[in-house]
Structure 1
Amino acid sequence: MTTSRPPIPGGQSRRGRLALVAALYCTQNLSLGFFTYAFLTIAQARGVPLALIGAAAGIATLLTLKFLWAPVVDRFGSRRLGHYRGWLLLTQSLLAIGCASLALFDPATQFTTLLALFAVIFVVAATQDVAADAAATRLLRPDERGLGNGFQSAGSSVAQVVGGGVVLVVYQAAGWQIAALCLAACTLVALPFVLRWREEADERDVPAPRVTLRTIGQFFGDRRVRWWSLALIPAYSAGFTIAYNLVRPMLVTDGWDEATIGLYVVIGGSLTGVAAGILAGVYIARIGRRPALLWLGGLQVLATFGTLPIALGATWPWLVLLVVALSNAAFAAAFAIIYTISMDLTRPESAGTDFTLFTTITSLLMVISGGSGLALAGTFGFVPVILGAGVLSALGLTVVVWNIGRVLDDDIQNTHHATPSTGSREPRGTRQR
C-alpha cells in the first residue's frame, strides 16, 4: 500500500532531484555520440580505411556488457562519499580525464591507440550508467519517475546533438585537440550536481544496497518482471524498431549523401527526440502509466506507418524531415514509458543491477529487431517490411493493452495523483501493492 510520510530532513527538493537526474542522463552518452557520429567520420575523412572503421564500431558493444559488473556497483560503495554518489564522482571525473586524453593522439596516425582509449572510456561510461540508474531509481518518487525517465530518453538525443553535432562543428573550426577538450568540458556538466547531492539524507528510508548471487537469481522470479521484460517490451517496441532503423538505409538507397542524412536524421531528429522525451515524461506524470502506454504506443504505430512514403520513394526534404521528426518523437516517448515502468519494478537494494538487466534486454531487442528488418528488406524490399512492421506494431500494442494489468498494479498506476506540495513522500524504489 502507498503511504505518506514527512519530508526527510536535509533531503533535496523535487527540483534538485530532477536536476541531478537530468544532468546525469544528459551527459552519460556523450562519449558514445562523439565516437559514433564524430570520431569515426573524422577518421574516415583523414584516410582510415572504411573496413577498419566498420570493425572499430563494434567497440561500442562494451556498453551493453555493463550487466556483468552492475552487481559490483550495487555491492560495493563508499560510506564516506555515499554509495552511488562515490561511484558517480569517480566515473564522472574519469570520463572527463579520458575525453581530455583523446586530445593527445591523432585520429589518423594513432587510430588504434584511440580505439583502446575509447574502450576504456566506454567501460567507465557503462559503470556511470549503472550508478546513475541506481541513484535515479532510489532517489525519485513514483510520481517523479515519468519525468526522470523522460530526461533519460532525451539524454540519448542530447548525446547525438552535442557529441555528434556540436563537437564535430568545433573540430571543423578549431581542430581535434579543441574538440576533445570541448567534449571533456561537456562531460563535467553533471559533476557540480553530484557534489551537491547528499545521498545519505535522501535515502534514509530506502534499504541499503546489497546484491548477492541469490538476489540476481530472484530477479526473474517475479511474474511481473517476466511478463514485462520478456513479453510486453518486445511486443510494444519490435515493430516500430524495425521501421525506425530502416529510415537511414532508405535515404541512402534513394541517393542521399551522408552529410545531408546527418543534418536531417542526426541533428534534426535528435532535437525532436530531446523535446519529445521531456514532454513524454511530463505526460506520463500527468495521466499515469496505463493511459500513457496506450497513447504513446499509438504514436509508435503512426510513426511506423509514417515511414511508408519514404519506402515508396517520396523523399522530398520537407517530408523526410516530418517523418524523421515523428519517428524520433515516437522513439523517445516510447522509451520514456518503458524505462518508467521498468524502474517501478526494480528492487531498492539492487537497483543498479535490476535496471541494467531491463536496459540490456531492451538493447538486445533493438539490435535483433533492427538487424532482422535490414535483412528482410534486403530480401523482400522496403515496402513489404514497413507494412509488416506496422501491422506488428499495432498487434503488439493490442497485446500490451490487454495484458498490462499483469504488470501494473493500482498503487503504481495512480501515483500521478500525488501532490508534492503537501510535503508527503511516497516509498521509492519499491514494488508497491
Structure 2
Amino acid sequence: MDKAPSPVAVFATIGGLYIAQSVIGGMTWTGLPAIMRDNGVSLDQIGLVSLIILPWALKFLWAPAVERFRLPPAGKTRTATIILGGGFLSVLCLLVIGFVDPGQVYLLLAILAVVAFATATVDIACDGYAVQSLSPENYGWGNAAQVGGAYLGSAIGAGAFLILVDKAGWQVAIWTMAAVLVLLGLPFAVFSRGRDRVEDRPHTPSLLAAWRRPEMRRGLAAAAVYVIAQKAGLAMLGPFLIDAGLDLTTVGILNGAGSMFIGLAAALAGGWLVRAFGVRGILVAALLLQAFCFLFFALHSSDKNAGVVLIAVAVASSSGVVALGFVALYAQFMHWSDPRQAGVDFTLFQCMDALISMAGGVASGYVAQYFGYGPFFAGVGAIAILAVPLIWKLCRPRLSH
C-alpha cells in the first residue's frame, strides 16, 4: 500500500487548486465588472455577472452525487478524474473566451457559467481530498491553503488580470490566465498519481441527514443574514471606482495589493481574534465595519476624482473587512458541520453564501443604475447594521457543538 502523502505535499497540491479557483473567481466577480464598465456596459447588465454564481449556489444539489462517485462503496477513489477533468474544461473555456469581446455580455456570461459549473464541482472534490489526505492534527495545513490560496488567487485574477488587460489587451490577458491555471494544476497532477486508495466505505453522505439537524438550519440562516450586505455592496465597488475616476490599472493594483497584503494579514489576524474574542464578537465587528465603509461610499458617491481616503477605505472594505468576517464565519460553519459528512454540510453553507451573493449582485446593479451610488451604498450600509442583532442571536455559543 502507498504511504500517505506528507502534509507539505498535500498543501502544495490543494494550495494550487484553491489558488486556481480564486483566480477564476477574481477574474469573474471583481475584474470583469470593471472591464465591462470600462467598455461602456451599463450597470444593470454588469449586475448580471452575479448570475454566474448560480452553480456555486446550487452545487449542494450534486455534492452528494460527486462524493458518491469520488468515494464508491468499494474500490479506488476517483478524485483525480473529477479535478483534472474540471480543470481541463475550465482552461478550454478560457481559451474560447479569448475570442469573445468583453462587450458581448450574454455570450461571455454563458461560457463563464460553464466554467463556474466545472470549478464548483472541482471544489467539492478538492475539499474531500484535503480532508481525506490530511490527518486531523494537520487540518491546519488545509485551512492555510484555502485561506492563503483564496487571497493569492484573487490578487492574480482581480489584480494582475486587470493590469494585463489594460497593458496587453483582453485576449493576451485571458490566455495568460489559462496558462496560469495549467501551472497551478500541475502539483496535483503530479502528486496525486498512484495515490488512489482501495477501501470499503459504508457511510453514504446525504442531504436529508443535513436538513434534519437544527444546527444546519440555523447556520444557513446565519450565512444569508451575514453576507447579504457585504456581497451586494462589493458587487458595485469596481464600477464605483471606475466612475470615480480610476483606470483599470489602478483598480487592478488596488485589488491585487489588497488581496495580497491587507486581505491575507486580516485573515491571519482574524484567526487570533476569533480565539480571543469569539466568533460572535468578530462577526458583529465585521458587520459594523462593513456598514461604516458602505456609508462612507454613500457620502462620496458623487466624487469624480477619487482621493487617497476613498481608495484606502475601498481597499479596507474589499479585502480587510471581508477577510476578517470570512475567518469568523467559516470557523462557525466548522462548528455546525457534522464530521460524518462535513463536505456536504460545508457545501450547503457555501451554497447559501453564493445564492445570496448572486441575488444581491443582480439587485445591486439595478439599484445603482436607477437610483445612483448614494442611495445604493446607504441602503446596504443600513442592511449591515440591521444584521447585527440577528447574527448575535443566531451564533449563540450554546447552539454550536
Pair in the same fold by TM > 0.5: yes
Q: 1:312 aligns with which of 288, 299, 306?
A: 299
Counterpart residue type for residue 117 of structure 2: V
Please state whether the residue corresponding to 1:10 is helix, strand or coil: coil
Structure 2 residue 21 is matched with structure 1 residue 28:
yes
Please state whether the residue corresponding to 1:76 is helix, strand or coil: helix
Note if contact 2:94-2:174 (Cα within 8 Å) is conserved in structure 1. yes
Q: Match for residue 73 of structure 1?
A: 66
Q: 2:4 aligns with which of 11, 14, 18?
A: 11
Deviation at 1:389, TM superposition (A): 3.7
Deviation at 1:74, TM superposition (A): 1.0
Q: Greater shift after overlay, 385-394 or 333-342?
A: 385-394
- Inter-partner Cα distance in structure 2 for 1:293 and 1:199: 40
Matches within 5 A, 1:109-188: 115-140=109-134, 145=139, 148-149=142-143, 151-188=145-182
Q: 1:83 aligns with which of 78, 82, 90?
A: 78
Structure 2 residue 183 is matched with structure 1 residue 196:
no
Note if contact 1:74-1:209 (Cα within 8 Å) is conserved in structure 2. no
Note if contact 2:292-2:381 (Cα within 8 Å) is conserved in structure 1. yes
Q: Match for residue 228 of structure 1?
A: 219
- Inter-partner Cα distance in structure 1 for 2:170 and 2:236: 32
**C-alpha deviations, 1:214-273, integer Å up to 9, x for none?**
x2212111122222222x3345445555665575676578x4456487347634443346
Instruction: Please list every run of 5 or more consecutive structure 1 residues that lacks an aligned counterpart in the other structure.
Output: 1-7, 410-433
If you compute each CA radius of gyration, which structure gives the higher value, 1 or 2? 1
Please state whether the residue corresponding to 2:5 is helix, strand or coil: coil
**C-alpha deviations, 1:293-316, integer Å up to 9, x for none?**
533542442343244333333976
Q: Match for residue 266 of structure 1?
A: 255
Provide closer, same or farther for how the CA distance between residues 353 and 340 of structure 1 changes in structure 2, counting only shifts above 3 A: same
Deviation at 1:116, TM superposition (A): 4.5
Counterpart residue type for residue 315 of structure 2: A
Provide closer, same or farther for how the CA distance between residues 57 and 345 of structure 1 changes in structure 2, counting only shifts above 3 A: closer
Note if contact 1:146-1:282 (Cα within 8 Å) is conserved in structure 2. no
Q: Match for residue 389 of structure 2?
A: 395
- Over the matched positions of the two proteins, sequence identity in percent amounts to 24
TM-score (norm 1): 0.71
- Inter-partner Cα distance in structure 2 for 1:68 and 1:102: 28
Instruction: Please list every run of 5 or more consecutive structure 2 residues that lacks an aligned counterpart in the other structure.
Output: none
Provide closer, same or farther for how the CA distance between residues 404 and 245 of structure 1 changes in structure 2, counting only shifts above 3 A: farther
Counterpart residue type for residue 195 of structure 1: V
- Inter-partner Cα distance in structure 2 for 1:94 and 1:240: 31
Q: Match for residue 316 of structure 2?
A: 326
Provide closer, same or farther for how the CA distance between residues 115 and 280 of structure 1 changes in structure 2, counting only shifts above 3 A: same
Q: Greater shift after overlay, 294-303 or 187-196?
A: 294-303
Deviation at 1:78, TM superposition (A): 7.5
Note if contact 1:307-1:386 (Cα within 8 Å) is conserved in structure 2. yes
Counterpart residue type for residue 14 of structure 2: V
CA RMSD of aligned residues (A): 4.3
Matches within 5 A, 1:399-418: 399-400=393-394, 403-407=396-400, 409=401
Q: 1:218 aligns with which of 206, 209, 221?
A: 209
Provide closer, same or farther for how the CA distance between residues 289 and 382 of structure 1 changes in structure 2, counting only shifts above 3 A: same
Note if contact 1:149-1:339 (Cα within 8 Å) is conserved in structure 2. no
- Inter-partner Cα distance in structure 2 for 1:110 and 1:248: 19
Deviation at 1:393, TM superposition (A): 4.3
TM-score (norm 2): 0.75
Q: 1:302 aligns with which of 284, 289, 295?
A: 289
Provide closer, same or farther for how the CA distance between residues 186 and 293 of structure 1 changes in structure 2, counting only shifts above 3 A: farther
Q: Match for residue 268 of structure 2?
A: 279
Please state whether the residue corresponding to 2:70 is helix, strand or coil: coil
